[in-house]
Structure 1
Amino acid sequence: MQFPSTDYLIIGGGILGAATAWSLAQQAPAGSRIRLVEAGLLASATTSQAAALLTRVRPDPAMAALVAETFTAIEQLDQVLEQPLPLRKVGSLHLATAESGKAYLQDTETTAASLGLSSERLGPEQIKQRAPWLAPDQHSEALFVADDGYMDPVQLAQGYVSAARKLGVEVVQNCRVDSLIMEQGRVVGAHTSQGSMPADNLICCSGPWATRLLAEQGVHLAMAPVRSHYWITEDNTELFPTDSPMVILPDINAYARPEVGGLLFGLRDQQAVYGDPANLPEDIHGYLFNCDPDGWECLEAGWGDLAAVFPAIEHLGVAHYLTGVSSYTPDGKPLIDTTHIPGLLVGTGCSGGGIALSGGIGRLLAELALERDTFCDVAPFKLDRFGSVDPFAEEFRVRCALARSQKKSG
């Protein structure tokens, strides 16, 4: 079977492919044919595993611009969808318990001011009022950023797709892309499990699966599949009111947010926990990484520091544990660029921030595909910024995993 030809074929129906489809449909000339193809069901792979913290304060202006665009996109989607998206704009509370964390607070406060975002310092009583589960000591310091929030990542992805469909984008699900179709050095489509899909331009947003797919054509993506994981406590509405803020704990590399009566909290692995991009299964739910399969080693290593600021964890039960695959780059910034192959673009490597960055990445990819001026600097996201890499080499995968271990923000 051969599908009708399109002007643009977007591979991957997760958050990035969905955002790109919507942005491209908005900007492309009238009559442009756009198809979005997804191996499974929309937003059912890595997008569905995200904690989805939308934090706006980023030291890199280009990264901050991507997140700001996501907030703008949510406002625009609310104007065209039948139901508004469930953005929980509760703000973020950054709690420092050591000198390194206090330096982080100062940097965050300065960056927020430079971006025109409001922030305020909080004392112990104010911390407890906003987040009753926290137990700050007299030496703790906190900063509250009011403009941050979180939301269900699947609902945001579905919102992008619904809006894209209204603009004529064709969506094909349960259709795996097996390889690219090349003619005279240019990409001209893709071979899929349902037949060939000819296209003038191809935008690859297939997350960790992009590494193997594009390596076949000599495009080596500087990223690795790294574990992201979090736990959800039993319900306790007194400790975890639904309007309490997200909490960032830079000194212990942890984060938390309310989750339907309980608390979702994440701890970043201090050891390198990564997968093999050459052997990722189609279904990555329950994927086993190179070590610590159930997260117990990570939880045990971080338990003491977590309990110091969250003493209720000692008697609260943990109801759920979720583990997922994040595509991490060595510097924690995404890969958004054209490639050396004419007609082929890439958007991936979001390093655990794909939900927050989605609106900006979708717009940037659309502008690159249409060969227009971009709304922000693309240099921080270039594919070649790390030089020549082998994404399948274990040494490189360790390097990417350690980038997550050192991440302090949300």
Structure 2
Amino acid sequence: MQYPSTDFLIIGGGILGAATAWSLARQAPAGTGIRLVEAGMLASATTSQAAALLTRVRPDPAMAALVAETFAAVEQLDSILDVPLPLRQVGSLHLATDAPGQQYLRDTARTASNLGVVSEPLMQEDVRRHAPWLSIKGDAEALFVPADGYMDPVQLAQGYIKAARQAGVEVVQHCRVHALMRQQDRIVGVETSSGPMSAETVICCAGPWAIQMLAQQGIHLAMAPVRSHYWITEADQALFPAESPMVILPDANAYARPEVGGLLFGLRDRQAVYGDPACLPEDIHGYLFNRDPDGLECLESSWQDLANVFPALERLGIAHYMTGVSSYTPDGKPLLGDVDVQGLLVATGCSGGGVALSGGIGRLLAEMALGQTLFCDASSFSTRRFGVVDPFNEAFRMRCALARSQKRSG
């Protein structure tokens, strides 16, 4: 099939491509051509692997603005879609006993106040009421942020796509982008499994595959494929009520939330676990990283810290284990905007936060693409902020992986 030229072509039908397509369609002049191209099925790759915690409190005001825009986007989508999106706005409960963790709680409360986000300390009886599975020590401190929530990432992506289609976006699935088309110093389209597609502007939302794709054009993205993973326990509705909040455990470097009657809990690797961007398969599911393929090393190293606050872990079985690929940058912030070749914008490197940031990133990329005033300061997301890097260098990939292991928030 021969596709006509379009004004904007978005590579990738995951959460970022979907959000960008919808935002672009809402803001572009009538008659603007927008095409989204997805290699497989929409939201079936890294988006489907996300735990999808939507936490509002971020130390960087620009990051907080992106998350706030996601909550606003959900409200806007609910007003135009037939079925409301399944946002579980149950709040987040932050619990710490160790001094560094308690300092994290105080920093979170102060940041929340600066952002105008409500947070409140909790007494031990309130913690038990919110999350019956938690065991509280006498010197533990707890903070609750009631406006936080979580949702199914695939359903959110599908919501963006449905609204984008209603606004006139053309969606092409099962069409793999093999390479960018270039004329001198400008990208003019993409070569795909369905033939060439020309475009005035290409927006790359291809996740970890963007590293190899852009490297072919001499563009080196400062990010690496890093493991993110979580476990889901057997069901126990008495311990894990459906309306329980998300729980952030900085002492254990862990997070948790209810999931299908059990508890979904994620642990951050204490060692660097990363992949090779030159060897990513087309199907990301089941991808094996450089070490600890089944996650047992990570689970064993964090078991005692987690069991101290989650004693039922000792008797409950694990029903599911999910390992996924996150695109991490050295500072844990996304790579957004233009690069050193004209006609190309990128949105990637979300460092495990793509679902929470999606609404803001979609709006920001649409404003960049249309040459509009940006709704927030995007300087801290510049694609050039790390200077010249080699994303295929093992030391650099390890540096990105350490950004995940040192993360304390949700």
Instruction: Tell me the TM-score normalised to structure 2 length.
Output: 1.00
Give the partner amino acid of 2:143: L
Measure how far apart 1:184 and its partner are.
2.5
How many Å separate the matches in 2 of 1:44 and 1:35?
A: 18
Measure how far apart 1:45 and its partner are.
0.1
How many Å separate the matches in 1 of 2:183 and 2:354?
A: 32
Measure how far apart 1:97 and its partner are.
1.2
How many Å separate the matches in 2 of 1:362 and 1:354?
A: 11
Matched with 2:72 is: 72
Measure how far apart 1:341 and its partner are.
1.1
Matched with 2:269 is: 269
How many Å separate the matches in 2 of 1:385 and 1:257?
A: 34
Matched, 1:10 2:13: no
Which runs of structure 2 are paired with 1:44-123 in the superposition (5 Å)? 44-123=44-123
Which runs of structure 2 are paired with 1:106-255 in the superposition (5 Å)? 106-255=106-255
* 2:226–2:275 CA contact under 8 A, matched in 1: yes
SS of 1:182's partner is strand
Deviations along 1:257-278, one digit per CA (max 9) or x if unpaired, are 0001000000000000000000
How many Å separate the matches in 2 of 1:207 and 1:360?
A: 17
Deviations along 1:2-40, one digit per CA (max 9) or x if unpaired, are 311100000000000000000000000110000000000
SS of 1:29's partner is coil
How many Å separate the matches in 2 of 1:80 and 1:254?
A: 36
SS of 1:157's partner is helix
Which runs of structure 2 are paired with 1:223-372 in the superposition (5 Å)? 223-372=223-372
Give the partner amino acid of 1:97: T
How many Å separate the matches in 1 of 2:185 and 2:329?
A: 27
Give the partner amino acid of 1:231: W
Give the partner amino acid of 2:309: V
How many Å separate the matches in 1 of 2:327 and 2:196?
A: 27
Give the partner amino acid of 2:341: I
How many Å separate the matches in 2 of 1:369 and 1:363?
A: 10
Deviations along 1:60-116, one digit per CA (max 9) or x if unpaired, are 000000000000000000001000000000000000110001100000000111111
How many Å separate the matches in 2 of 1:41 and 1:4?
A: 22
SS of 1:301's partner is helix
Measure how far apart 1:54 and its partner are.
0.1
How many Å separate the matches in 1 of 2:357 and 2:367?
A: 16
Give the partner amino acid of 1:274: Y
Give the partner amino acid of 2:370: L
SS of 1:386's partner is coil
Matched with 2:22 is: 22
Where in structure 1 are there 5+ consecutive unaligned residues? none
Give the partner amino acid of 2:390: D
Measure how far apart 1:251 and its partner are.
1.3
How many Å separate the matches in 2 of 1:263 and 1:301?
A: 19
Runs of 4+ residues deviating >3 angstroms:
none
Deviations along 1:133-191, one digit per CA (max 9) or x if unpaired, are 00011000000000000000000000000000000000000000000111132111000
* 2:187–2:344 CA contact under 8 A, matched in 1: yes
How many Å separate the matches in 2 of 1:114 and 1:2?
A: 53
Percentage of matched positions with identical amino acids: 73
Give the partner amino acid of 2:228: S
Matched, 1:385 2:385: yes
Number of paired residues?
410
How many Å separate the matches in 2 of 1:106 and 1:271?
A: 27
How many Å separate the matches in 2 of 1:8 and 1:315?
A: 53
SS of 2:385's partner is helix
Give the partner amino acid of 1:143: L
Measure how far apart 1:123 and its partner are.
1.4
How many Å separate the matches in 2 of 1:337 and 1:19?
A: 15
How many Å separate the matches in 2 of 1:252 and 1:240?
A: 19
SS of 1:383's partner is coil
* 2:339–2:384 CA contact under 8 A, matched in 1: no
Give the partner amino acid of 1:220: H
How many Å separate the matches in 1 of 2:326 and 2:200?
A: 30
Measure how far apart 1:309 and its partner are.
0.2
Deviations along 1:250-303, one digit per CA (max 9) or x if unpaired, are 111100000010000000000000000001000010100000000000000000
Instruction: Tell me the TM-score normalised to structure 1 length.
Output: 1.00
Let me know the Cα RMSD of the aligned residues.
Answer: 0.5
How many Å separate the matches in 1 of 2:115 and 2:402?
A: 29
How many Å separate the matches in 1 of 2:257 and 2:384?
A: 35
How many Å separate the matches in 1 of 2:194 and 2:128?
A: 55
